[in-house]
Structure 1
Amino acid sequence: MFNSLSIQSICCKQGEWILLLKIKKIAQQAESNPLRYYS
């Protein structure tokens, strides 16, 4: 059986991974098209 703490920590880690992936994707888009982000 899982306790709520371990489930919360797993969800938190998944959320951090999703956030990191989004940041990476945004950074790649900014590199490929810098004018859109820095104009």
Structure 2
Amino acid sequence: MTAMYKGYSNSGETLEEIQDTIKDLHRQEASLQRQIDDA
């Protein structure tokens, strides 16, 4: 994880934006896992 300073990452994203991105990745992972399980 990038270093945080005043709520912003090195890439300029806020912590909330980073958390949203992580949530999206978890949803994608769950969807892909279901597809693999159904194959």
* Structure 1: gaps spanning 5 or more residues: 29-39
Structure 1 position 24, deviation (Å)? 0.5
Distance 1:21 1:12 in 2: 14
* Structure 2: gaps spanning 5 or more residues: 1-11
Q: TM-score, normalised by structure 2?
A: 0.67
Distance 1:25 1:2 in 2: 32
User: Do residues 7 (structure 1) and 21 (structure 2) align?
Assistant: no
Structure 1 position 11, deviation (Å)? 0.4
Structure 1 position 21, deviation (Å)? 0.3
**Larger % of helix: which?**
1
| Identity level (%) | 11
Q: TM-score, normalised by structure 1?
A: 0.67
